[in-house]
Amino acid sequence: MGPYHIVLTHFPIALWTLAMAVILLRVLSAGPLARRLDQALVPLLTVALLFGLAAYATGTQVWDWESISASPLGRNHLMLAAWTVALWAVVWWLRWRRGEAVWEGGMRWAMAALALLGAVLLAITGTLGGHLMSAPTDLSKLLRHLGWEVYTTYHVPDFTVWALLGIAALGVALGLWARARRAAGSATG
């Protein structure tokens, strides 16, 4: 399964990286190019999510569970891969469900934050996967400077927990704010 997993991982990496660029462009611009690229965002995220799920599924078959779960590197890779897929699924769902409304008000900055966090998770997941395949990257040095030794440390970095809590709080606050605006608008109109 290893070769299939390696091939499959390149698709979500490329597609989610492109999606991040499209999201950031759309957050910063309402021009014709940004709007046209945004029209392709839901199909792009759909295909990326399907490849991400396939890569995750094949990744769980590369090593038996006893082997991969015995290693902090393996556990971190599986955990971050799950977070990456889940985060990009949220981005896909928000863009699909909310449509153009995701680019209005504070929601657009939430989309930018989600896209950037998704890119960071994607990079770290890929780095850990590279280590599992004996192909370490320079990002490992940065992780080591931040206190995360990828071969021995099994933990959720504090920054990740705080970022996820902050994003969740921002999402709740934006939802409540949008509901209050909608209620105020319907009361006056």
Contact at 8 Å (CB) between 49 and 92? yes
Query: Comparing 152 with 9, which gets the higher pLDDT?
Result: 9
Residue range 92-121, pLDDT digits in tens: 999 999 999 999 988 899 999 999 999 999
DSSP assignment of 54-121, as one string? HHHHHHTTTS-HHHHHHSHHHHHHHHHHHHHHHHHHHHHHHHHHHGGGGGSTTHHHHHHHHHHHHHHH
Q: Quick one: pLDDT at residue 165? A: 82
- Cα separation, 152 vs 133, whole angstroms: 16
Q: What is the pTM of this model?
A: 0.80
Q: Quick one: pLDDT at residue 147? A: 80
- Cα separation, 186 vs 189, whole angstroms: 5
